[in-house]
Chain A
Amino acid sequence: MIDYIIRRLIFAVPVLLGVSLITFILLNVVPGDPAVEMLGKHADPDAVQKIRNQLGLNDPLYVQFGRFLWNACRGDLGRSFKTGQPVTKMILDTFPTTVKLALSSAFVAVAVGLTVGVISAVKQYSFFDHASMIVALAGISAPIFWVAVVAQLIFGLHLKWLPISGYSTPKHMILPAIVLGIRFAASIARYTRSTFLDVIRQDYIRTARAKGLAERAVIFVHALKNALIPVVTVIGMQISGLLTGSFLTETIFAIPGLGRLSIWALSNRDFPLVQGIVLFTAVIFVIGNLIVDISYAFLDPRVRLH
């Protein structure tokens, strides 16, 4: 197991290098000068050159990329062009908020998605099955900004049960977690239903029933664990996605997370911040995938990690 993890982490190095290089190239190929963006409407050529020199943008590209890599290896992702703050600090300041939002919405997604998926499969073609799958389809299709505004209006403005925006107390997290979680719950529910239906038609489930096991034991002991393996992949990927920030949810609910920071960095052409966030995001995905792969081994003893 340890060998497997070490090997996977070694394989991650070229992935992270590739991601950094592609980001660096893209940022430099796309038109738009950070210095002009910083100076705004009164930008004049002398001032632009002054800022470019200060930011090291007049150095050859390979020097700029080399500098980034060298510093990144030492844990220094540089300083933001715009704020002058260390990029690592800016990312780490916003990441805990994103983690809070990601975990709470993942909790909503998994709890609702798995429950609805399992019930739908067990009660196939019932009213619940049809209704929940229609709602799930609507949940996947409805744009998140629409769901968010509707939720704010109903539960914040009219019923006054929850705060409309902000994130200072746990109560503030409920609405965004539900809005973001419901969307993923819908896809988890549909996935769970379909894999569960496959599993409960297997011979070993029939055997379990034939030997007189209670239906609850058949479902929870024999079927669920086996049905979960593909679902775990979906959940794992989605949690990795959630951990890298949800720009729309964070913007609508005024949550200072990584998603908002990414967009802010991009629209300000803050190269070091964009590069830092992309590298950080790539690391999250690599680790997320690794955790998913390891979790297979726990769920299915037949899976061996080599």
Chain B
Amino acid sequence: MRKRVLALLLIILMVAPAIAGCSRSADQAEPPESSEIKKGGVLNDYLEDDPNGFDVQENTFLVMYTLARQLYSTLLRYKGDTLELEPELLAKMPEVSPDGRTYTFELKKGVKFHDGTTELVADDVKFTIERMLDPNGKGMSTWLFEPILGAKKFMEGKAASLEGFKKIDDYRFQIILEKPYAPFLNNLAVPAASIYSEKLVKAAGDNWRLNPIGTGPFRLKSYVPNTEIVLEKNPYYFEPGLPYLDCIHYRIVPDATTALMEFENGTLDVCIIPVNEYQRIKDSGKYEVLEGVALNTYYFLMNMSDPMWSDVRLRKAVAMAIDKEKLVQALYGPRGTVAKSFVTPGIPGAYEEGTGPAYDYNPEEAKKLVRELGNIGKLQAWQRGGDRLTDANVAIQAMLKEVGLDLEITIVEKAAFSDARNKGKIPANHGNWWADIPDPDNYLYTFFARTNQMSSGYNNKEIQDLLEKARAEVDPEKRKELYRKIEDTIVREDVAVIPLFHIKSLLATQKNVKGIIMHPTGINIYTYAYKEIQ
């Protein structure tokens, strides 16, 4: 008997990996057909990390942005899953002066915060902006409001209030910019620009970060650190009839495999599908699989100020040595598309999908350039610790080897990597950029302006002047022309960056979950989501 038990245990251990590849076959039955389906229910979702607070001004992680979208509202938001802006807390779209510097806003009347009594007024908007820019505060997304007149002075503590904010009455106000900045309205739709109540924040003091009170479709019901966050329907939400869900129950599940198992077990309603499980989940037919466009570009960036990478022929050789089609197919299969431009297609002013200035795969030309360069020794690139980019880096390394380039990749711990990037000390790296706002400025200015924030070492003064000009240009056609010229130069002539591929967002839901909006900015919106309840 003992021998049998032991043998059985051994068999279980041996067949376990095989079972791992199988999907659940038993339950998950389709709901019985009924004509009386109600919209509502509790959505069981998960977060990979605990935001450790709910103050979106002091936390810029995607987890926080996701929660902020449910808890708070912004002046403007994106319409459905498009990149078109629409008013959220505003009564109508703002009026912009012909010089592109003055924006006049009008708030919706009667918008209540979660307490049901405090009404949103123009002072709250001013308070929110000043709180973010406060030199003694913890605002981390100061970049959102920095274009406002007097922001710099205010941030340095040289002004008591923000010069560029003019209150007209309780519901109307103006924002005046230092100089025209075309993407400004997009900044106001970023979750970090969520509007707080001056009265409620001041009353809560230090407790605010754990007791958020917004105007969003859901309000915080309970929070157990590192375990779960429960949001409930906001009964005072300003859009009648919304949201449909009664509750969102977020569990903190850091491991992607565990989350997938919980999803297949039916204990989670939503799950981000790991790439290697995509086909199995889709083919099972048991779940809804949502595929969404996502504003991202995976790239290979070379530091032009680093002597090792300063020769444009070398950068061009690298660009032509990488077989992007093969790379993206191997890594992401149908989830990925080859990038022809650095600015993700779909963004206003960007190249359309399949077009762009990037070099095509041309190993012969690459070899020729490498021969011209002579002996250049070992090339260096970094990989940020914790990033799942090793497979891609190994493939890039092998492709470069094919044309005679020897690339060494060093994995550098996350914080050390950020520090070096801030100082412009990274020689080269394969990375990805997920846009904060759908504007070419968010890509090109961030990487190649004079500040060199991403360690590009870019030093083409003419293009850097054009970057300043383009962000101030308010005519969409002229902006588009400027960005085309800028991107063509950066990607084609200077080869400062090699766009590799873009990937889609994948989300699986249980069959009875409907109405989730997967926005291209990477945030899932639950305002219109519901579960079909019999």
Contact = CB atoms under 8 A, between A and B. Distances in A.
A66 interface: no
Nearest to B2: A128
- Band of interface residues on A: 35 or more
B420 interface: yes
Contacts of A42: 60, 140-143, 446, 453
Nearest to A31: B416
B345 to A, nearest CB: 22
A33 B17 contact: no
B253 A165 contact: yes
Nearest to B264: A157
B182 to A, nearest CB: 18
Contacts of A39: 60, 140
A252 interface: yes
B419 interface: yes
A179 interface: no
B254 interface: yes
Nearest to B55: A84
B241 interface: no
Interface string A72-93: 0000000000111100000001
Contact of A37 (B141, B226, B415): B415
A180 B284 CA distance: 33
A145 B208 CA distance: 38
Contact of B12 (A83, A149, A154): A154
Contacts, number: 143
B532 interface: no
Contacts of B13: 138, 150
Interface stretch (B89-97, B122-130, B255-263): B255-263
A201 interface: no
A131 interface: yes
Interface in A48-106: 48, 50, 54, 82-85, 93-94
A47 B142 contact: yes
A17 interface: no
A141 interface: no
B262 A32 contact: no
Interface in A131-171: 131, 135, 138, 149-150, 152-154, 156-158, 160, 163-168
A165 B416 contact: no
A44 interface: yes
Contact of A32 (B10, B140, B226, B415): B415
A36 B257 CA distance: 30
A82 B140 contact: no
B202 interface: no
Interface string B245-279: 00000011111011001101101000000000000
Interface in B1-30: 2-3, 6, 9-10, 12-13, 16-17, 19-20, 24
A127 B446 CA distance: 67
A256 interface: yes
Interface string A258-272: 001100100111000
Contacts of A150: 13, 16-17, 20
Nearest to A34: B415
Contacts of B52: 82-83, 85
Interface in A11-44: 30-34, 36-44
A84 B52 CA distance: 10
Contact of A149 (B138, B155, B257): B257
B432 to A, nearest CB: 11
Given A39-B140, A150-B17, A254-B254, A158 B24 contact: yes
B334 interface: no
A158 B255 contact: no
A240 B20 CA distance: 33
Contacts of A38: 140
Nearest to B433: A41
B401 to A, nearest CB: 29
B80 interface: no
A30 B416 contact: yes
Given A31-B419, A267-B415, 13 more contacts: A30-B416, A32-B417, A36-B418, A43-B418, A44-B143, A45-B422, A47-B142, A150-B20, A154-B12, A156-B265, A157-B264, A251-B254, A251-B255
Question: 9 closest Cβ contacts across the A-B interface?
Answer: A32-B415, A256-B226, A31-B416, A150-B16, A32-B416, A83-B52, A269-B415, A254-B253, A33-B419
Interface of B: 2-3, 6, 9-10, 12-13, 16-17, 19-20, 24, 49-50, 52-53, 60-61, 135-136, 138, 140-143, 155, 206, 209, 225-227, 251-255, 257-258, 261-262, 264-265, 267, 386, 413-420, 422, 446, 451, 453-454
